[in-house]
Amino acid sequence: MQNPAFFQAAETFKKIRAPFFQRQSLVNEFESFVSFEKHCYSIWAMYQQATVGNINVPILQLTFESKTTWMTNMEVGCGRGYMETKRITTEEAEKEFVRLVNNLEKNLETLKNEWRKTCSNEDGYGGSQPN
């Protein structure tokens, strides 16, 4: 049985993720969304393990680097995250999910600043800007 702390953490995670998801189509915001999603591989994996249990996700083996996209990179990352949690019980996964979400909530502003620095150029904007 899932505990109330798990449900609270799931709601908190939804609230944290919503602005990233909603703003992904805006200029220079997509990179932040991708950075957020990459950071959350382990959180997604713990959620999956706590709610579904063991799953088998095939790891994509792409031979042509030029054919990979951000989506295939996310699929590979999530697949690896799921495979790493395979032998964790649902109770342990719930506790770890709560811990990871609380840690994300606590460090979110620092992470956002790091992602902005990573995605920005010397003008302070990510990507090219119109004249």
For 81, other C-beta atoms within 10 Å of its C-beta total 19
Digitized pLDDT (tens) for each residue of the chain, 131 residues in all = 568 999 999 999 989 888 877 776 666 677 777 788 888 888 888 888 888 887 766 555 555 555 555 444 545 555 556 667 777 888 998 999 999 999 999 998 998 888 777 766 544 444 444 33
- Rounded-to-integer distance, Cα 21 and Cα 13, Å: 12
Q: Which domains does the chain carry?
A: 4-119 (1.20.80)
**What pLDDT does residue 18 have?**
85
**What pLDDT does residue 28 have?**
66
Task: Write down how long the chain is.
Answer: 131
Listed in sequence order, the residues at least 6 apart from 120 whose beta carbon sits closer than 8 Å to its beta carbon are: 126
**What pLDDT does residue 70 have?**
45
Kindly report each contact of residues 107-114 with a partner whose C-beta sits within 8 Å and lies 24 or more positions away, as own/partner.
Answer: 108/16, 111/35, 111/36, 111/39, 112/32
Listed in sequence order, the residues at least 6 apart from 84 whose beta carbon sits closer than 8 Å to its beta carbon are: 42, 45
Q: Cα(first)–Cα(last) distance of the chain, in Å?
A: 57
For 105, other C-beta atoms within 10 Å of its C-beta total 13
